[in-house]
Chain A
């Protein structure tokens, strides 16, 4: 067994600071006084806070409030465990079921009541009513696109984290491969992949582990895909297993797609890299989970690939699948 790749368990202050600055700089650039985030991954990006992982979507609510003038971070958390030291305890507001208590906590945030432009990651009818009372003069502005634009371009330290996360996905895929080679079925292969990731201290999925038959008629090959969240960043990898010598066209097609993911490329450029339409493919951002841009034969009309993006490059050809994460550099796009 190979030595485990070290996993960074705590985010360093420099990375947190750099990400936070990017968010505040972007707010200043578009004239947002306040930004309200609801999703765990966005909150983690802007603050570095770690919290309990739960599956699925969350109804939108103010999980984090950023005030641009003071560059202050206010966080929904009942405790300081997982909260980085630069967020003072006084800036925490606890979990509540009571809208009046939540409104009171938000009203106490300096700069919120006088805000004229409040960015929101999404909007629920309940929060819209609350915001109108808390900041009567404020215009609510969708700011999901601001967060996506900031997150799409990775810092070098983020790429390093993705690389470490991909190593965990690789360990999971290897374990599934070994299980399948030993005659295990899909459930046992998934089980082996999860235990292998847990052996590296990782128990939180992004997409999780999928193992499905590659031949619907019931063959001996399986599509295996693993996506895990490792110290806040996503590692993802997909293969059709067990591997054999017949995947050269698939590998070559994925290579063409990866090479097409160069700065300035559009969805049309990616489509023309795979002529004939025989391959199914998707290219989308990856970082602290599923991110933008999303490009496919039908999506991403207005998107442009940029340097510093990390992309999940997914392709299916001749009944086989392959997925890798790749970092877009100035001249080459490198598989992580």
Chain B
């Protein structure tokens, strides 16, 4: 019985964890460019001006840096994708010199003088924007003051990039799988440090140090090792009246018996991982906690049984609820599953507050990626939460990651 359903799930995932071809970053960028070009044509957009980091990374292959928002904003690279052109434009001073892009000096679009530079490049590449359909994801204050896009018929580049990246090619899937494998390796190396008397920051520090030893350049989120209360009312007050997670606040010291929810994400060639597990400090899980884990496994198996091309997000949600006695096994401010790619959470979003009608219209297709993150909560006992990444294939799904087990549960 011990770990039985956990082993069943692990076996199911292992059966669908197929060998992946080596990543060809150049091919991956060319295919993404083709997808963006197809969306430009489909949405009737002449050019897309991209400032948001993950969008720039998607369009150009520019490195993702594990830096604070203030650095990412001021020192931001900018991408410009023009309909009909065979490669994107990149305004940046640093990064990989081998990228297949049309290079321009970095603009500093946060600064008034930088917005003028950006307008000049836009003029040289696109010509006058007035009356033209131009997509943009974000305009800085300086761009607004300089009127960089004045007169343009502005489209939302979030829709453009969002549609292009909804399904992934094999290179992209291999990047996610590699990110996840490295993330799992680093977590496996440091789980033993989460012992009685250790602080969150000590465990996080060991994890971050291990990442660097594994060759990971960028960490994407302050790694979460959050001790959970057993009842919702013992935790922070929430707008949803459910458990607060992940708060990312404070530096708790682990005590004997703490149930700790773990969550982290790293980068590999622009693609994010998403590791989630539940750890227990200084003891084995008790019978009630094992029951939560087993129900989590049941929910996972139930969802994976219905996951295939053509299935709707609504069907996934209903399978999860049925395996959890009719209750929704996920956090109401999040989802049963979310996509992952150049963003740590992106479409397809399954079971969000976009509502059941949205879920019933969202149809699974090959190349979509799902981070399944059910949460089983029994108030008074506590909760079990973990995450697994799968990609929809022509005939079902495949597991992305290395097959990390669920210690101390299985």
Chain A interface residues (CB < 8 Å from chain B): 9, 39-41, 50-60, 77-82, 89, 92-98, 101, 120-126, 142-145, 187-188, 190-192, 194-195, 197-199, 201-208, 227, 229, 284, 288-292, 294, 299-302
Contacts and interface: CB of A to CB of B under 8 A. Distances in A.
A197 B73 contact: no
B71 A124 contact: no
A124 B244 contact: no
A144 B156 contact: no
Contacts of B209: 191-192, 194-195, 198
A284 B70 CA distance: 12
B110 interface: yes
Nearest to B331: A78
A82 B155 CA distance: 36
Interface string B74-85: 111000000000
Contacts of A55: 64-68, 72, 218-221
B112 interface: yes
Contact of B354 (A40, A77, A89, A97): A97
A299 B54 CA distance: 26
Contact of A294 (B108, B199, B215): B108
A213 B203 CA distance: 29
Given A124-B137, A144-B142, A206 B67 contact: yes
B193 to A, nearest CB: 11
Contacts of B155: 125
B44 to A, nearest CB: 15
**Interface residues on chain B, size class:** 35 or more
B71 A207 contact: yes
Contact of A229 (B68, B154, B235): B68
| A57, A80, A120, A291 pick with most chain B CB within 10 angstroms | A57
A101 B355 CA distance: 11
Nearest to B200: A203
Given A96-B353, A207-B68, A54 B220 contact: yes
B52 A208 contact: no
B139 A206 contact: no
A104 B333 CA distance: 16
Nearest to B263: A52
A94 B202 CA distance: 30
A54 B204 contact: no
B344 interface: yes
Contact of A123 (B69, B113, B144): B144
A52 B349 contact: no
Given A52-B248, A57-B72, A124-B138, A78 B67 contact: no
Given A59-B138, A94-B240, A198-B208, A52 B247 contact: yes
B205 interface: yes
A203 B201 contact: yes
A97 B222 contact: no
A115 B199 CA distance: 46
Given A56-B64, A288-B70, A290-B74, A203 B223 contact: yes
Contacts of A60: 138
Given A203-B222, A206-B67, A206-B70, A51 B137 contact: no
Contact of B69 (A40, A192, A208): A40
A96 B334 CA distance: 8
